[in-house]
Each structure stands twice: as C-alpha cells, then as structure tokens.
Amino acid sequence: MLCIAVNCTSGCQIVNEIPAPAILLSVTVNFTTFAVLQSAQMLFNSIGYLFFLPLTVAAYYTLPRQWRWVLLLIASYLFYAFWNPAYVLLLMASTGVSYFAGIKMSEQRSKPARRPYLFLALAVNLGLLFAFKYLGFFTGTVNQLGSIFGFGQIVPYMSLLLPVGISFYTFQSLGYVIDVYRGSAKAEHHAGLFALYVSFFPQLVAGPIERARNLLPQFREVHEFNPVLFSSGLRLILWGLFKKIVIADRLALLVQPVFGQPEYFHGIQVVIAMPLLMMQVYADFSGYTDIAIGSARLMGFRLSPNFNRPFAAKSIAAFWNRWHITLTTWLRDYVYFSLPSKSGGRVKSWKLNLNLIITFLLVGFWHGANWNFLAFGLLHGIYMALANIFKPELTKFNQISGLARFPKLLSAVNITATFFLICTSGFFFGQHPFSDSLTLIRNITEWSNTSAALLTIVKNNDFLLGTALIVFMLWFEYITMEKSFKPRFQSLPVSLRYAAYMAMFFFMLIFGIFTRQEFFYFQF
C-alpha cells in the first residue's frame, strides 16, 4: 500500500482510500531512500544521514502517536539495510527468537521451566555471533595448530562478512532475555515495540548497549516537541561530528601509518603514536556516542551515557567505569557476577581476580576475533588483578613516600600512571596482525635517530593541530562537566551562543577530514 500511494498510475481513487498518516509515512520512506542512495553508506558523517535524520524527526512529530513506532521501525530497518540488505534477516532472526523466548519465559513460574527458552535464545544469538564474527578465527587457529603438529589443514577455513553492529544488538537482545529469565524485567508482548528496541537506529550499530528497562518504556511515552531537549540534541550532534571529523580523523592520519607499516617507525615515533591512538579512538567512539544520544534526543528519547572523561581515571578499574560504560556494566552484570567466587561458603580473593581476568578476556574478544584483542583484554584484566593484590603495599608506599599528604599530587600521579598503562595496551588495540604489534614493541627500544625523528614530528602541521585539538577536547569536556557551566552558558546573549556554534561549524568545515572514514567501533 505504501508503494501504491506514491507510484500508482491508475488514478487518485486508490490514494484517497489510504489514511493520511500512511501517505506521509510512505513519502518519508521514499524520500529518505532517495537521499540514502546518494551516499555509499549510512554513516553518521555522511550526506545520507544528513537527509535521513531530519526527515525521520519531522515525520515523527507529524504522525499521530499510534503511528510513530511504525515510522521508527521502518526507519531503523532502512538504516540497517543500507549496509547490507541481506543482513537485515540476521537482525530479524535475533529479534524474533529473543521475543519468542521472552514471551514463553513469562508464561513459566519457575526458573527451571524458563531455562529451555533461555538456552534457545543464547544458542541462536551466540551462534549467529560466533558464525559471523569468530568462525574464521577459530578455523584459522585450528589449522595453524595442525600445521605446527604436522597434521596439515584439519578443517576448511571459513570466514563470513561481519555484519555491522552484530556485537551490539546481540548483547542488547541477550540482556533482555537474561533479565526476563531472572525476573528482573517483564517480557515485552508488543512485537513491534520489541523489534524497535533491538533495532532503534541511533544506537543500532555501535551502541550504547541499552537495557530493556531504560529504552522499552520510552517507546510508549508521548514525546511532545521539547525545544530545550531538541537544542541539546543538536549541540551533542555538532560536538560529536566535531570530535569525529576534526579530531579523530586528523589523528588517524598520524596513527594509521605507524600501524600500517610498523617496520618504518622506531623509538619516539612509537612512543608518541600510542597516546595519539587512544585519543583517536576516544574522539571517534565518544563522537559517535554523542551523535547517537543527540539523534535520539531530538525525538525525546534518552539513551544511556557511554563515557565520562575516562582519561581522568585514577586506576584501570576507574577507567572502565568511565569508558564504554554500557559494555562494562553489561559484562559485570551478566558475566562477572555469574562466575563462581566462593569456596566453602567464603569469597576467595584469588577467584575474584581470576574472574576479572576472564571477564576482560571477554572484553577483548568482544572487540575482535584476533590475538591482538585477546592480548588487550588479558592485559587489562592482569592490571586490575595486580592492583587488587598490591593495594595494601601501594597504600603503604603512598604513606611512607609522603604522597598521601598531597592528595592533588597523588591524584596526578595515579592519573598519569593509569594513562601510561592504557597506552601500553594500545599496541594490541586494532585489527592489524599480531606480528605488527610485536614489531612495534621491539622497535620502541630503538632510539638511534631520535633528534631527527622528533624534529620531523614537531614540524608536522597535522601533529601540531591534532595536539592542540586534543587539549581543547579534554578542556572543553572538563568545563562542561561543571554544574555551573550550563546556566552560565545559557545566560549569555543568544547572539554569542550562536556565534560559538557557528564558529565550531566553520572550523569543522575548514579543518575537517572529509574522506568518509567509518567510525572505529563499526568493525565490532
């Protein structure tokens, strides 16, 4: 009927029989489709999204309440279909099985009776995730081991094209299913709203990983146009685009060559590349999150925060409480707390530390099916376990050395040490071969041409501008965290506020990198 409303050539009688909301919905979908076709992918930093988002928001506020979830569901599937239409079937399969499992579990009174449906949802969702994300890694590893022990190829090597966002929507579906199984959430009986919960386009491909208790009830709320919420959403989108296009993609110009050809970089070059990598990933991923939260906020939806100034963390544990918060809390609630930690009725510290290492191995493996990310997760798990083991000794050292008497100095030392540990794990954060990580670690010890290399770096305009932008980003996010910032900013004359927005916009146009680079976390 939607296609008929737009494409009918037999007269106006058929069109008149279709409700006005359906016509508006149809026109919106078709115009959005046309706009999307003008860009290669539906990236947040693409021309396609520049058309897609305003049209969707305008249609959302125009349609009656009962039609809005239909619009958002169509828009979300259209958004995802543009990456690869065939993979919409995977999204539907994950959604359908999780919905069915939730309904069936809600009909059972005991956990043992719910368990078969939980296992069904786990098997299907994790099975799809394994097949499309990890199958190539496992078959390749088995064959490598076979070669080492003289067996040759043991199994056929199989690797499938990774569907964008599969790690995110799989975890979101599983979180819902586990909550229903535990009785901490009620099953959603509206199939359309549940499908929208899994596929809501602002956070579909790279999070935040939403919980059902936060997002599902919002789809039943009537969202009237709120100028304050709308303007805050626009500000977040502008800031997220600035971080992505101006900061992250510029830093990528400096970082990508180091990981692309590690044999040519040594000493100071590698030392500088590590913090630049972490800043690039942060600007990229937090920029995406800002755009996602801002896009949802335009329509009155509130997504969960995913970052909270992570580089101000005073420990690795505090860093993960501030970085990719929705993933960390998901693994904490559904993995870490589920691992056995008691022996003879008593909690064993060594088991808690082992559970930390296991959990962070999963953090690494969630990011990617390669040895790099496993090493990244293992390293962070070991850091946290060692911090727990040596906490009494560190406390004594701070007292004996006198650092405890200077809280600000101690905080600065802890922040610096934490950032150093984060940067050391950066060797393994990426899809580059594991051998390249080892090459960089080996090359960092070679300092024979340091003066010339440093001179070349400081003369690089991208490095100078990138460094200044990092300082600006960290400073800006620091001052905006202060409670007094927003009232002070809002009290400024409208002309000054809009001048600040326009300055950021024109700075983005002048210094942005417009080469259509994907967001870093789309590969997960």
Q: Which single residue is written with the structure tokens 């701070």?
A: 398
Q: Are 467 and 273 in contact (CB under 8 A)?
A: no
pLDDT attached to residue 518:
76
Q: What is the chain's mean pLDDT, rounded?
A: 85
Q: Which of 99, 106, 95 is nearest to 184 (CA)?
A: 106
Residue 494 has pLDDT above 70, yes or no: yes
Q: Is residue 233 part of a domain?
A: no
pLDDT tens for 305-360 read 999 999 999 999 999 999 999 999 999 999 998 887 766 556 678 888 899 999 99
Q: Do both 67 and 157 map to the same domain?
A: no
Q: Which of 51, 6, 7 is nearest to 27 (CA)?
A: 6
Candidate list 266, 324, 367, 432, residue with the active-site label? 367
Q: Do both 109 and 74 map to the same domain?
A: no
Q: Give mean pLDDT, residues 192-205.
A: 94
Which of 462, 487, 509 finishes a domain? 462
Q: Do both 355 and 411 map to the same domain?
A: yes
Q: How many CB atoms are closer than 10 A to CB 200? A: 25
Give me the number of domains the chain comprises.
Answer: 3
Q: What are phi and psi of 445, to 5 degrees?
A: -85, -5
pLDDT attached to residue 424:
93
367 is catalytic: yes
Q: Do both 113 and 77 map to the same domain?
A: no
Q: Is residue 437 part of a domain?
A: yes
Residue 8 has pLDDT above 50, yes or no: no
Q: Which single residue is written with the structure tokens 């990617």?
A: 368
For residue 49, give its domain range. Answer: 2-82
Q: Do both 206 and 334 map to the same domain?
A: no
Classified as helix, coil or strand, 106 is helix
Q: How far, in Å, CA of 136 to CA of 349, rounded?
A: 36
Structure letter (DSSP) for residue 21: H
Q: Do both 75 and 113 map to the same domain?
A: no
pLDDT tens for 118-134 read 999 999 999 999 988 88
Q: How big is the CA angle at 476 (ends 472 and 478), to the nearest 5 degrees?
A: 120
Q: Is residue 519 part of a domain?
A: no
Q: Is residue 414 part of a domain?
A: yes
Amino acid identity, position 163:
P
Q: What are phi and psi of 369, to 5 degrees?
A: -90, 70
Inter-helix orientation angle 461-480/268-298, to 10°: 50
Q: Is residue 474 part of a domain?
A: no
Q: Do both 166 and 264 map to the same domain?
A: no
pLDDT tens for 448-480 read 888 888 888 888 888 999 999 999 999 998 988
Q: How far, in Å, CA of 246 to CA of 520, rounded?
A: 15
Q: How far, in Å, CA of 299 to CA of 289, rounded?
A: 16
Q: Do both 128 and 207 map to the same domain?
A: yes
Give the DSSP H or E segment for 75.
Answer: helix 65-81
Q: Is residue 521 part of a domain?
A: no
Which of 462, 496, 515 finishes a domain? 462
Q: Do both 361 and 387 map to the same domain?
A: yes
Strand partners, 346: 343
Q: How far, in Å, CA of 492 to CA of 490, rounded?
A: 5
Q: Is residue 32 part of a domain?
A: yes
Q: Do both 264 and 139 map to the same domain?
A: no
Which of 59, 82, 105 finishes a domain? 82
Q: Do both 28 and 126 map to the same domain?
A: no
Q: Do both 218 and 275 map to the same domain?
A: no
Q: How far, in Å, CA of 201 to CA of 91, rounded?
A: 12
Q: Is residue 67 part of a domain?
A: yes
Q: How far, in Å, CA of 329 to CA of 336, rounded?
A: 10
More confident position, 303 or 48: 303
Sign, CA dihedral 67-50-493-302, equals positive
